[in-house]
Structure 1
């Protein structure tokens, strides 16, 4: 089969994250099964217009943050006319990845579509766009998309996302839950820091709510004089976060690393006492299982979507109900070494139960029967 993924970003994009990892790892598994896979995403200065990844995925980069959706439609339509990068390679199946804004590929692709959803963005639209534009974004996601995709199969990365889609009118019988795999651990084992340490890892954008980690740091610093927070990642909200750390008086306890390599990321995940996930919403919580693979438990919010599946509350990490409880759960974990070790070992076993091979095989079971029916 010839399979085309439409996603707003790829893993080399400066703002790429867990969604992009999922797409490329699953796509790589499909390549390994003998399928031809193309990923069409936004252009950026970290990659060329066209290239092939080490796992055999063909990348086509067109458009930008807001124009990649139109660029995808134009590229597919041009391919149907025999021109452009898709000329002579009309896909058997399109995987339309909805990160809030849908590609609406059934309107122009002329091929069956499978819809991949990481999470529903109900709470995030106002945080990212403000009230006016948020209403339009929510209409796109909650009203227009379900209608356009009404005959399509869906893949959700967590049961929480499946339930949210069902709340938008998507029949549960059309939704398959396929969890993330756990990225491989690289590098030698590392010791935990000799002082209490927390790690936030991910894109620095408003809905990740890193401010809550900074405020927890400020609250707990008097009780734990050696406490340090590492904020690893990049994003347009970084300067605001540095200003917040200074305003809270914890700039000297906060280390902003910017972008980190895979090796450095794993060293940070291994050395931290806990990984902190204050995000408003996650489809799954890839950072949680990455940390778990290193024996590091997580503290997150119970209402943050799929995070409550990535974290087994009280067994592999702790879930909080509100910001005050978030501080309380961090205090509990940082001051109880036996609890921390027990949760860390359970997190390691939990992370090992999720593999990309299993995710790829499950994804193939969804797409192969659909794409192979195309004449």
Structure 2
């Protein structure tokens, strides 16, 4: 018997600030719908979005803004508006607190813990309040709920907040892309950074890397792919560093163009402060493009095999620049990593992720798998 599933997430894939977390949830949602389940995706409204529509079998309901969506979703749950068999709360720092309604089983999806990000986005008072919500209130409210984490590093972080290991299931991101025919690596040294343009992604470190290596590698360029409210600041930084002629800001691009840019780059950069997994690491890896990321970001320690599919650095711009320099200057190392990363990412499949989610939701709802 199919489930009626309610997903609560603050963005969908067409939201101006959508990223890898939305790709993950939308892919799972469409996969579940394709398996015959009724999927309702409640998310925030945004300019140009329809308040109610069905896309690829998923029913989208868009009400409330970035913060208003939380109380509105909780109120809808309290009156049992959607009569769901199971609810999936996506906790992007802010919890939806669906277990408070005591109406139906809840699964809490967490990409990563936001301890380091709260002070970057908000002032001291709001960041303390946000961290209290995430680290103290949420573990209490969801103490009888199941959790899904996208990586082992996130599972460890949740355990550190008091969530029981036996409550948490890890379901990785997948990939549905194959190497592009006819797309060749750039003739000149080329870097790419991809993601939402917000402070916590620290694209400034990628720009600083280009500036520091410019004299050593005169033909070096950087493609910045993505959009976000921090975009003007990054343009200013590029000008201040004197690298505006080496950096191309592409904005939001199509999936085809995104993969073309990943395939052409010599190295993919992920200077992000925190990642749950780092979907783009796998997307770049499909094309044999290795990644440089920070160990402290968490998720990349699971999506990158250090020294084999990319390089992980402990902290600081100096170490990041040194790692990029090493990859750009050592053709044999890049070739070995390129070959190995293609094999490494081949193990991650969206079909497998959807199947695991279906089993988890059926189990939460007290149903038997078909």
Give the TM-score, by structure 2 length. 0.96
**Structure 1 unaligned residues grouped into runs of 5+:** 81-85
Per-residue Cα deviation, 1:33-66 (whole angstroms, up to 9, x for no partner): 2211111000112421111112x11111110111
Q: Indicate yes or no: 2:66 matched with 1:65.
A: yes
The DSSP-based 3-state class of the residue aligned with 2:276 is: coil
Looking at structure 1, the residues matched to 48 and 10 of structure 2 have their Cα atoms a distance apart, in angstroms, of 15
- Tell me if structure 1 keeps the 8 A contact 2:146–2:364: no
Match of 1:120 in 2: 113
Looking at structure 1, the residues matched to 279 and 121 of structure 2 have their Cα atoms a distance apart, in angstroms, of 21
Match of 2:362 in 1: 368
Aligned residues: 365
Q: Map of 1:159-178 to 2, 5 A cutoff?
A: 159-178=152-171
Match of 2:344 in 1: 350
- Note the C-alpha offset of 1:186: 7.4
Match of 2:16 in 1: 14
**Structure 2 unaligned residues grouped into runs of 5+:** none
Looking at structure 2, the residues matched to 244 and 264 of structure 1 have their Cα atoms a distance apart, in angstroms, of 25
- Note the C-alpha offset of 1:130: 2.1
Match of 1:83 in 2: none
1:187–1:316: structure 2 CA closer, same or farther, 3 Å change rule? closer
Give RMSD over aligned pairs. Answer: 1.4
Q: Map of 1:1-375 to 2, 5 A cutoff?
A: 1-54=3-56, 56-78=57-79, 80=80, 86=81, 89-108=82-101, 110-185=103-178, 187-322=180-315, 323-372=317-366
- Tell me if structure 2 keeps the 8 A contact 1:186–1:263: no
The DSSP-based 3-state class of the residue aligned with 1:182 is: coil
- Note the C-alpha offset of 1:72: 0.9
- Note the C-alpha offset of 1:341: 1.4
- Tell me if structure 1 keeps the 8 A contact 2:78–2:103: no
- Tell me if structure 1 keeps the 8 A contact 2:180–2:287: no
Per-residue Cα deviation, 1:168-203 (whole angstroms, up to 9, x for no partner): 000001000110001324753411111100000010
Per-residue Cα deviation, 1:56-89 (whole angstroms, up to 9, x for no partner): 11111110111110121233334x3xxxxx4xx4
Looking at structure 2, the residues matched to 317 and 198 of structure 1 have their Cα atoms a distance apart, in angstroms, of 14
- Tell me if structure 2 keeps the 8 A contact 1:14–1:46: no
- Tell me if structure 1 keeps the 8 A contact 2:309–2:344: yes
- Answer with 252-261 or 187-196: which moved more: 187-196
- Answer with 90-99 or 320-329: which moved more: 320-329
- Tell me if structure 2 keeps the 8 A contact 1:92–1:372: no
The DSSP-based 3-state class of the residue aligned with 1:303 is: helix
